[in-house]
Amino acid sequence: MEFADYPNESIMNIIDRPEIIFVKGEGSTLIDHTGHAYCDWIQGWAVNTLGHCDAGIIRTLHHQAQKLINPSPAFYNLPMGQLAELLTQKSHFDRVFFANSGAEANEGAIKLARKWGQIKKNGAYKIITFQDAFHGRTLATMSASGKAGWDTMFKPQVSGFSKAKLNDLSSVKALLDDETVAVMLEPIQGEGGVVPADLFFLQQLRELTLKKQVLLIVDEVQTGCGRTGYLFAHQAAEIKPDIMTLGKGIGGGIPLAALLATENTSLFEYGEQGGTYNGNPLMTAVGYEIISRISHPHFLKNVQNLGQILSEQLKNLSDKFNLLGERGVGLLRALLLPNDTAFQIANIARYLEPKGLLINAVRPNVLRFMPALNITEKDVCEMIHLLDTAIEQSMTK
Ligand SMILES: *Cc1c(COP(=O)(O)O)cnc(C)c1O
């Protein structure tokens, strides 16, 4: 097939896509319409926990599709209960609501916090979020996000969100008032450029929010589900947030997200929360397959080890080319560039021969790495080799 024959004229233009049509994926490799292979370090945007077309996911989808796809969200189904139970066993949360996207799970978290404020805190409704945060693309989650320019896009915003500075407790304290109901943050700002919240900051935040009777919400859409080498990133700080959202990795490529709450904060009454596809067995069966596999201590240890290896190799690359180092946790990492060459490098990497490399220029001067969590050391070496070539070429151009 030629790209010229592809019916792209009917697709709504929301992003500048390269003229590549992906037709097949296997593990860490993607194949395009010309048969060209790519080493995939984007993985559906940190989504494909177990790589492309994992045999266990295929089997689960196949078996579940033959049994039951959707009985309606108003009835129980087996995988929904089993996945909810597994998630509560593996965390300190008590209740789970399933959604279809991270943004939808975060909308649920915002609603739940406001509900808590109505019942327990005199109608308090304000939520403190952070500069450069990313919580999704619905109106409320865009308002909660701290991305530059998003405050005027589609104005007016949903009100009630004020922005503190990550890792700066006094900036949170300055925004706290009687109408504050929650503080909401990503343990690592993913879209913001892989910027981790310090573990000590998370602990201080938990202490402060408990003292002020304010909920702590962690958006673990990107950091959850093994990505950092912990099942959930906040566990590294040994804190217990009141509400957590999951997305991306929990579905391993299929649309699934979750809103988790402690018993005290799980306050929705009948009719206040829902969604046609929520908890459907086809998606929750896959979620169960993923969480049961990635929650093994061995699996998580391996993510930590590979994160270490990736970190060292990125550091070496940084030294070799005089870059500004690397950062991140587990297999969510970034390489910091001295100039705004991230897009150029990602572009060159994509078209390398005989095999391309897919990496994300998350900021003009930051490259992000979000591979499948079951990669091997060999995959890391292959990626570093390709990246080395791409950086070299970008410097001689
Ligand atoms: C991707 C992401 C979201 C939004 O998830 P969608 O499934 O795209 O709606 C929300 N929060 C964080 C931290 C994310 O990385």
Query: Where residue 112 falls among pLDDT bands split at 50, 70, 90?
Result: very high
What 8-state DSSP symbol labels residue 269? Answer: P
Q: Exactly one of 54, 132, 219, 379 is catalytic; which is it?
A: 219
* CA-nearest residue, atom 15 of ligand 1: 222
Q: Exactly one of 134, 161, 232, 369 is catalytic; which is it?
A: 134
Q: Look at residue 169 and tell me whether its pLDDT is greater than 80.
A: yes
CB 374 within 8 A of CB 51: yes
pLDDT average, residue stretch 114-128: 98
Using alpha carbons only, how large is the chain's radius of gyration in Å?
A: 21
Q: With a 6 A CB cut-off, is 300 part of the ligand 1 pocket?
A: no
pLDDT average, residue stretch 6-24: 95
Give the chain's mean pLDDT: 97
**What is residue 6's predicted lDDT score, i.e. its pLDDT?**
94
**What is residue 329's predicted lDDT score, i.e. its pLDDT?**
98
Residue partners of 41: CB distance under 8 A and separation at least 6: 28, 357, 358, 359, 360, 369, 370, 371, 383
**What is residue 397's predicted lDDT score, i.e. its pLDDT?**
72
Full-model pTM: 0.98
Query: Where residue 270 falls among pLDDT bands split at 50, 70, 90?
Result: very high
Atom nearest to 138 CA in ligand 1? 9
Distance from residue 136's CA to the centre of ligand 1 (Å): 5
**What is residue 214's predicted lDDT score, i.e. its pLDDT?**
98
Distance from residue 354's CA to the centre of ligand 1 (Å): 33
Atom nearest to 137 CA in ligand 1? 9
Distance from residue 242's CA to the centre of ligand 1 (Å): 19
* Cα atoms in the Cβ-side hemisphere of radius 13 Å centred on 209: 25
Distance from residue 103's CA to the centre of ligand 1 (Å): 6
Distances (CA, A) of 312 to 48, 64, 156, 369, 391: 24, 41, 45, 14, 17
Q: Which amino acid is at 348?
A: I
Q: With a 6 A CB cut-off, is 186 part of the ligand 1 pocket?
A: yes
- Please say if 134 is a catalytic residue: yes
pLDDT digits (tens, 9 = 90+) for 43-73: 999 999 999 999 999 999 999 999 999 999 9
Longest dimension (CA), the chain: 63
**What is residue 285's predicted lDDT score, i.e. its pLDDT?**
98
**What is residue 336's predicted lDDT score, i.e. its pLDDT?**
98
- Please say if 219 is a catalytic residue: yes
pLDDT average, residue stretch 319-336: 98
Query: Where residue 1 falls among pLDDT bands split at 50, 70, 90?
Result: confident
Q: How far is CA 99 from the centre of its chain?
A: 14
pLDDT digits (tens, 9 = 90+) for 175-213: 999 999 999 999 999 999 999 999 999 999 999 999 999
Distance from residue 33's CA to the centre of ligand 1 (Å): 28
Q: Exactly one of 115, 121, 126, 248 is catalytic; which is it?
A: 248
Q: With a 6 A CB cut-off, is 103 part of the ligand 1 pocket?
A: yes
3-state secondary structure of 170: helix
Q: Ligand 1, residues 98, 248, 283: which to mutate, most atoms within 8 A of Cβ?
A: 248
